[in-house]
Amino acid sequence: MACSTSSVTWQELLDGVRESFSTEQVDVDRLRTLMNSYQSQRSDWEQYALFDPHTYTRNLVDAGNGRYNLIILCWDSGQGSSIHDHADSHCFLKVLSGEVKETMYAWPGSGVSPSHSSTPTMEVTGSESVLIDDVAYINNEIGLHRVENPSHTDQAVTLHLYCPPITTCQSFEARTGRSHSCHVTFYSKEGQKVCSSVK
């Protein structure tokens, strides 16, 4: 499927992402354009949008034959992630419902790998609201981030594309910059609940 600025359906989005990984090279601009081209319709993705009142959830939509993961994250009011990296993955985030706040951070120790850093700070480098149908992008060269639902009343739903698939990441303590390795788990796969919590 040729990627253009015209709108695509949910199925065309899924097919277009899969086609984008038919070669070894990742075309970041093409993937961003493709994700921008989809206009959110709740009926398309609602079956994957499983919430938990105690924590945000990761819901696997497509495992991507080991080349990528397409995941829907569900954020109840006030829920947020830790400060984290993305291993060696590209990460695209598209808001499907509501809005999220993305706060960007520098690596502890002015870019030094966190496992070798003793600097007890997490420097905020920027913050922005990501609104419905907006697409954000990050990788480890850009820095770290935290995502949260700033609303006290409304839920938010985001679509994430990780390539290669993300299986582990580092989370960071806001006050000290100390890092911890985390295994990425799923609350559901293809609409079926598989576990009860997300770390």
Residue 89 domain-assigned?
A: yes
Domain total for the chain? 1
- Helix then strand count (H, E) for the chain reads 3, 13
Residue 9, domain member (yes or no): no
Q: What is the pLDDT along the chain (199 residues), one digit of tens a residue?
A: 344 458 999 999 999 999 999 888 889 999 999 999 999 999 999 999 999 999 999 999 999 989 999 999 999 999 999 999 999 899 999 999 999 999 999 999 754 444 444 545 799 999 999 999 999 999 999 999 999 999 999 999 999 999 999 999 999 999 899 999 999 999 999 999 996 544 4
pLDDT of residue 2: 40
Domain that holds residue 91: 43-189
Locate all alpha helices (DSSP H) within the chain, ordered by sequence. Answer: 10-20, 28-37, 42-45
Whether residue 199 is contained in a domain is answered as no
Q: Domain with 52 in it: what CATH number?
A: 2.60.120.10
- Is 11 among the domain residues? no
Q: At what angle do helices 28-37 and 10-20 cross, to 10 degrees?
A: 170
Q: What is the pLDDT at residue 199?
A: 43
pLDDT for the residue 121:
75
Q: Is residue 13 part of a domain?
A: no
